[in-house]
Amino acid sequence: MGDKTMTAEEVVSRLRSGMTLGIGGWGSRRKPMALVRALLRSQVTDLTVVSYGGPDVGMLAAAGRIRKLVAAFVTLDSIPLEPHYRAARERGAFELTEIDEAMFMWGLRAAAHRLPFLPVRAGLGSDVMRVNPGLRTVTSPYDDQETFVAMPALRLDAALVHVNRADRLGNGQYLGPDPYFDDLFCEAADEAYLSCERVVDTAELTKEAAPQSLLVKRHTVTGVVEAPNGAHFTSCAPDYGRDEAFQKRYATTPWPEFAARYLAGDEQAYRSAAGEEA
């Protein structure tokens, strides 16, 4: 069993332009922002991003790295509409596969189970069918003969997720109230990269937390990055809440100015720049 720890730069060096990239978390909650920032420092672009979208999508959209987005929404939670995502959509900056939240989850599940699709009731009758002309339906072979959307598997080339704790082998633990869908992202991906607030010994993981907090299993993980404050400015309960003041600055500062001030240097520079103004 190998030590999978690596730096965020090493993670990004394994990603390629044109990849389909799943990003864990939800809205502005426990997003792998340190990995996204590392991605922004790289030249990787032309991405198909699959995300319950938050500022991860907003930043990658603002930086012109997205060729296609697969999402049910993009939000900052406390600020309902993500301004950089909005601006990118309104200038037609990338392709969008807009699907329902449940369709999204079943797409990940289908990929995790190596199924070509899973039947979902969601989507029928809505314009999700109009804007995704490739979507097909499937009819139950049983007496009910109900028709469903055949949600295709959302297979990912790579996934990025952030959790509270992990060991060096890739066992990941969430300590907040919601696992979101991070385990599914890892299972749906050929390679998954897990950042965490703190790398601990395996035995430490269950010393104070119940085993059901062990969300991500090591066989689905390629690399582990220790990234304290690595979800900033999104929430990472119970380690920290959302940095609302900083998020507001992100939402109201013109992108070139924001990028120059916070994203020009490395993660350490980001932390000092963000911290100085706190």
Interface residues toward another protein, by CB under 8 A: 26, 53, 71-75, 80-81, 85-86, 89-92, 98-103, 105, 120-128, 130-131, 146-147, 177-181
Q: How far is the CB of 25 from another protein (least distance, A)?
A: 11
Q: Cβ(196)–Cβ(231) under 8 Å?
A: no
For residue 189, what are the β-bridge partners? 156
Token pair belonging to 43: 């030249």
**CB of residue 57 vs another protein: minimum separation in angstroms?**
10
In the complex with another protein, the residue whose CB is nearer, 75 or 247, is: 75
* Residue 165 tokens, joined: 């704790």
Coil, helix or strand at residue 74: strand
Closest to another protein by CB, 88 vs 156, is: 88
Residue 53 CB, nearest approach to another protein (Å): 8
226 Cβ contact list (under 8 Å, min separation 6): 5, 195, 196, 198, 199
CB of 44 or CB of 71, closer to another protein = 71
SS3 assignment, position 106: helix
Given a contact cutoff of 8 angstroms between Cβ atoms, the answer to whether 250 and 233 are in contact is: yes
Minimum CB distance to another protein, residue 83 (Å):
10
Q: Give the residue with the Cβ less far from another protein, 3 or 95.
A: 95
Nearest distance from C-beta of residue 148 to another protein, angstroms: 10
Q: Which is nearer to another protein, 25 or 223 (CB)?
A: 25
CA distance 167 to 169: 5
Contact assessment for residue 230 and residue 38, using Cβ atoms and an 8 Å cutoff: no
- What minimum distance in Å lies between the beta carbon of 128 and another protein? 6
CB 96 within 8 A of CB 132: no
Q: Give 123 or 172: the residue with its C-beta nearer to another protein.
A: 123
Running DSSP on this structure, what letter comes out for residue 231? T
